[in-house]
Amino acid sequence: MHTRIDRGVEWIWYLDRQGAARQVTRAFTDLAEPDDFLRQAAGRCVFQTRDLVRLVSVVERLTRRGCAAAEA
Protein backbone atom coordinates (compact mmCIF):
# COMPACT_ATOMS: atom_id res chain seq x y z
CA MET A 1 0.00 0.00 0.00
CA HIS A 2 1.20 3.52 -0.76
CA THR A 3 -0.30 6.98 -1.11
CA ARG A 4 -0.10 9.70 -3.73
CA ILE A 5 -1.51 13.20 -3.94
CA ASP A 6 -3.01 14.12 -7.28
CA ARG A 7 -4.64 17.54 -7.76
CA GLY A 8 -5.09 17.97 -4.03
CA VAL A 9 -6.67 14.54 -3.46
CA GLU A 10 -4.76 11.93 -1.51
CA TRP A 11 -5.12 8.50 -3.09
CA ILE A 12 -4.37 5.22 -1.37
CA TRP A 13 -3.15 2.49 -3.67
CA TYR A 14 -3.42 -1.17 -2.68
CA LEU A 15 -3.55 -4.64 -4.19
CA ASP A 16 -6.90 -6.43 -4.17
CA ARG A 17 -7.30 -10.18 -3.54
CA GLN A 18 -6.49 -10.96 -7.18
CA GLY A 19 -3.34 -8.84 -7.04
CA ALA A 20 -4.72 -6.01 -9.19
CA ALA A 21 -3.72 -2.47 -8.23
CA ARG A 22 -6.66 -0.42 -6.93
CA GLN A 23 -7.02 3.09 -5.61
CA VAL A 24 -9.42 4.89 -3.28
CA THR A 25 -9.38 8.41 -1.91
CA ARG A 26 -8.20 8.65 1.67
CA ALA A 27 -11.43 10.51 2.53
CA PHE A 28 -13.41 7.31 1.82
CA THR A 29 -11.45 5.30 4.40
CA ASP A 30 -11.09 5.28 8.15
CA LEU A 31 -7.52 6.52 7.63
CA ALA A 32 -8.81 10.05 7.00
CA GLU A 33 -8.87 12.57 9.81
CA PRO A 34 -12.43 13.61 10.64
CA ASP A 35 -13.32 17.06 9.37
CA ASP A 36 -14.45 19.86 11.70
CA PHE A 37 -18.15 19.09 11.22
CA LEU A 38 -17.72 15.43 12.13
CA ARG A 39 -15.66 16.35 15.18
CA GLN A 40 -18.29 18.82 16.40
CA ALA A 41 -21.24 16.51 15.67
CA ALA A 42 -19.56 13.60 17.47
CA GLY A 43 -22.17 11.17 16.14
CA ARG A 44 -25.10 13.25 17.33
CA CYS A 45 -28.00 14.30 15.13
CA VAL A 46 -30.62 16.85 16.10
CA PHE A 47 -33.21 15.45 13.71
CA GLN A 48 -34.89 12.06 13.71
CA THR A 49 -35.99 10.38 10.50
CA ARG A 50 -39.67 10.95 11.22
CA ASP A 51 -38.98 14.69 11.68
CA LEU A 52 -37.29 14.90 8.28
CA VAL A 53 -40.12 12.97 6.61
CA ARG A 54 -42.63 15.43 8.10
CA LEU A 55 -40.50 18.34 6.89
CA VAL A 56 -40.61 16.96 3.34
CA SER A 57 -44.40 16.82 3.44
CA VAL A 58 -44.59 20.41 4.75
CA VAL A 59 -42.26 21.66 2.00
CA GLU A 60 -44.23 19.79 -0.65
CA ARG A 61 -47.51 21.27 0.64
CA LEU A 62 -46.07 24.79 0.67
CA THR A 63 -44.68 24.29 -2.83
CA ARG A 64 -48.10 23.25 -4.11
CA ARG A 65 -49.64 26.32 -2.48
CA GLY A 66 -47.01 28.54 -4.09
CA CYS A 67 -47.68 27.04 -7.51
CA ALA A 68 -51.45 27.48 -7.09
CA ALA A 69 -50.99 31.12 -6.02
CA ALA A 70 -48.74 31.81 -9.03
CA GLU A 71 -51.35 30.39 -11.40
CA ALA A 72 -54.17 32.54 -9.96
The string of pLDDT tens digits covering residues 5-56 is 888 888 999 999 999 999 998 888 888 887 888 788 887 888 888 999 999 9
* pLDDT, greater one: 67 or 51: 51
One domain for residues 52 and 72: yes
Nearest-angstrom CA–CA distance, 46 and 41: 9
pLDDT of residue 17: 93
For residue 5, is it within any domain? yes
Total tally of structural domains belonging to the chain:
2
The one-letter amino acid code at 47 reads: F
pLDDT of residue 70: 67
Residue range 52-70: mean pLDDT, rounded: 87
For residue 66, is it within any domain? yes
List CB contacts of 32: < 8 A, sequence separation 6 or more. Answer: 26
**Which domain covers residue 66, as residue numbers?**
43-72
For residue 65, is it within any domain? yes
For residue 38, is it within any domain? no
pLDDT of residue 28: 85
For residue 61, is it within any domain? yes
